[in-house]
Amino acid sequence: VSGKVQRFLAAMLQGHRPPQDKVYLTNVRRDPGPLVSDVCAEMRRRKWLFEIGQGHIGLSGPVLRLSEYLNRHSRGLFVERFTAAEYSFPALIRSDILTRCGYFESHPNNTTLVTHLIEDFDLIEEFRQSNATGVAMVQLPSRDAVAAPHTCLNPAACFPVYYTLEDNTIPASGTAMTFLGRVFRYESKNMASLERLWEFNVRELVFVGGPTYILQQRDEVVQLIGYLGAELDLDMQIQTATDPFFATVSTAKKMWQQSMESKYEIRLTVGHDGNGRPRTIAAGSVNVHGTFFGERFAIKTDAGQVACTGCLGLGIERFVYAAFTQHGFDAGRWPTAIAQEIFSDRREGNEA
């Protein structure tokens, strides 16, 4: 173990520099009420949140209605303001597509592999018998009983777009697409209800086109998120950020990301640290990828260039978590329009 820790630390510290975050937009909450701690415990008590397993949850009541409202409302804004075309993509993604997206190279530790039993009568029968009654963990007859994983659960909402556009030519003046992505990131013991999930939902907006178009859209996206933050009345900042890359590639990739300012994060306040400073979580990001995906998937513009791409992902569950932390369970603290959406139970015609 100590050898592994040493190698991890050496990889993380090599060439490390403290990050300098640039802030692009700030929204300040008008609700004067205090932050509510441990909102998930109260949601569980009210039966608005159900832990099905580690990092996967079910929702009901106002928590579900807020998540549906956020998805519906942001989809409407993306279609209206960016004339985004609507799509849907599966939760499954082929491993070779993830390889081409560079995912295994950067985030191997977050991968969720999907497999199935091989088509062998005796092995399947053996599996049936050993798993027919109460097992916590699936018993495999042998390691060879499962196929090599050629499929994964999608770990970043926008990946299916690039494969879908392979060999296409896009107007340099740009095109936008939006969809609800179901996203899976395995995070071991860190996975906790709402704040960090294995399976979560992302309302995604993807831009494909010439370089000018992508940068213009990024500016407009920042303004739109500011508008959303004001509507929801959230303490929020949009700032430069880097991804939590796997240790052995972390330093180089983080430095590249910082120098290119290729990633902005939407950070929402969910508490205070020991020194009274706000503790924030990333509830979404705005990314520009340059020609990375355009090159990998041969996407061109009608101006004859390799297409550039960019995306915005809104993490629905984290917005819900931060909004309840900032406004609590009293409808009177929420912006009126949103309180009406989420706290009135239309089915029973009474207040939740």
Can you give the binding site for Zn ion, defined by CB under 5 A? 158, 311
Question: Least CB distance from residue 158 to Zn ion, whole Å?
Answer: 3
Residue 329: alpha-carbon gap to chain centroid: 25
Q: How far is CA 175 from CA 85, 192, 212, 219, 308, in A?
A: 8, 36, 12, 16, 11
Q: Please, which residue, 194 or 311, has the CB nearer to Zn ion?
A: 311
Task: Give the chain's length.
Answer: 352
Indicate the pairing of strand 49-53 with strand 308-315: unpaired
The smaller minimum CB distance to Zn ion, of residues 254 and 263, is found at: 263
Minimum distance from CB of 30 to Zn ion (Å)?
A: 31
- Residues 65 and 168: their CA atoms lie apart, in Å, by 38
Closest distance of CB 134 from Zn ion, Å: 41
| Choice between 195 and 243, CB closer to Zn ion | 243
Helices (H), the chain: 2-13, 39-45, 61-82, 95-100, 103-106, 121-131, 159-164, 211-232, 247-260, 292-296, 316-327, 336-343
CB of 205 to Zn ion, least distance (A): 9
Helix 61-82 crosses helix 316-327 at what angle (to 10 degrees)? 120
Measured CA to CA, the distance from residue 67 to residue 319 in angstroms comes to 8
Shortest approach of Zn ion to residue 347 CB, angstroms? 35
Smallest gap from Cβ 204 to Zn ion, in A, equals 6
Q: Kindly state the tokens that stand for 282.
A: 């990333």
User: Residue 6 and residue 318: Cα distance in Å, rounded?
Assistant: 33
Q: Compare residues 70 and 158 and give the one whose CB is closer to Zn ion.
A: 158
CB of 284 to Zn ion, least distance (A): 10
The residue (of 59 and 152) whose beta carbon lies closer to Zn ion is 152
Residue closer to Zn ion, measured from CB, 59 or 299:
299
